[in-house]
Amino acid sequence: MKNLQIAISIVTYNGDDVFKTLANLQQEILPFFPCRIYLYDNHSTSAFQKKLAEYQSEQITIHYGAENRGFGHGHNYNARQATEELFLICNPDILVSQKSFQRMLRYLEKEPQRMVAPKVLNTDGSTQFLVRRRLAVFDYFLRFLPGNFLKKIFQRRLAYFECRDLTDEVQEIAFASGCFMFTSRAAFLAVEGFDEGFFMYFEDNDLCQKYRQVQQKIIYLPQAEVTHFYAKGAHRSFKLFKIFLQSMIRYFNKWGWQFF
């Protein structure tokens, strides 16, 4: 299957990194691939929206939400508006090269019903360990715990949780990061997209569960790389940490509690 059309879905909320992402896509992706960007703004400030409007074009469609209904709602809206066969869920703080994009696209052209996830890098080139093998409450407790005493005791467990032992081979994984998920729009809509009960956090884990529930595979493609300006907001903001906890409770209530 060749020449598949691609919808790139981005959801924004007052984050200036999106302008770097859009500039990157305009330079590396839009001139070379059959793509359209669908950008959903979650009721940002008027100043931010004014700046965003400068990017409206034949290849970039922008919708301004009347309220902030969360990460999943914006992507679901974009998926319903799009007509393209492939659907790329892309954070507003991502950089991707033409070469990496091409590698993911070639894989999906052969296996369009799967989800593809790249290797995610920090701006210094180091790996962000965002792939998950299994989810348990204890591992999240360790990651948020201040200090290093318990983290050192459970160092091997945390390394296992963060899949630090992944090889540089194409392989099936259980949980990919929602910062960059490349899939088919039909497969995304077939599982009803993101569960909008998650305002933010855990909606990507939930989506992966739904994919695997219907025997759709999630593939890690480390030969393709993206750079992610990882903010770790829930580690610094009590408001975001509270949202994180609410989403975690919803996730484990839905899929079963795994404490250790």
Q: Which of these, 251, 18, 2, 209, lies nearest to 115 by C-alpha position?
A: 209
CA distances from 125 to 27, 122, 226 (A): 20, 5, 10
Contacts of residues 66-70 at CB distance under 8 Å and 24 or more positions apart, as own/partner, are: 67/42, 67/43, 68/13, 68/42, 68/43, 69/42, 69/196, 69/199, 70/42, 70/196, 70/198, 70/199, 70/200, 70/203
Look at the chain and report how many structural domains it folds into: 1
* CATH code assigned at 86: 3.90.550.10
Radius of gyration of the chain (CA): 18
- Decide if 65 contacts 43 (C-beta within 8 A): yes
Strands 218-228, 171-173: pairing is antiparallel
Is 174 in contact with 217 (CB distance < 8 Å)?
no
Going residue by residue through the chain, which has 260 residues, state the pLDDT in tens, using 9 for 90 and above: 457 999 999 999 999 999 999 999 999 999 999 999 999 999 999 999 999 999 999 999 999 999 999 999 999 999 999 999 999 999 999 999 999 999 999 999 998 889 999 999 999 999 999 999 999 999 998 888 777 778 888 999 999 999 999 999 999 999 999 999 999 999 999 999 999 999 999 999 999 999 999 999 999 999 999 999 986 554 468 889 999 999 999 999 999 999 99
Whether 171 is in a domain gets the answer: yes
Stated pTM of the model:
0.94
260 inside domain? no
Tell whether 1 is covered by a domain: no
Beta bridge partners of 221: 118
d(CA 99, CA 30): 13
> Range of 102's domain?
6-255
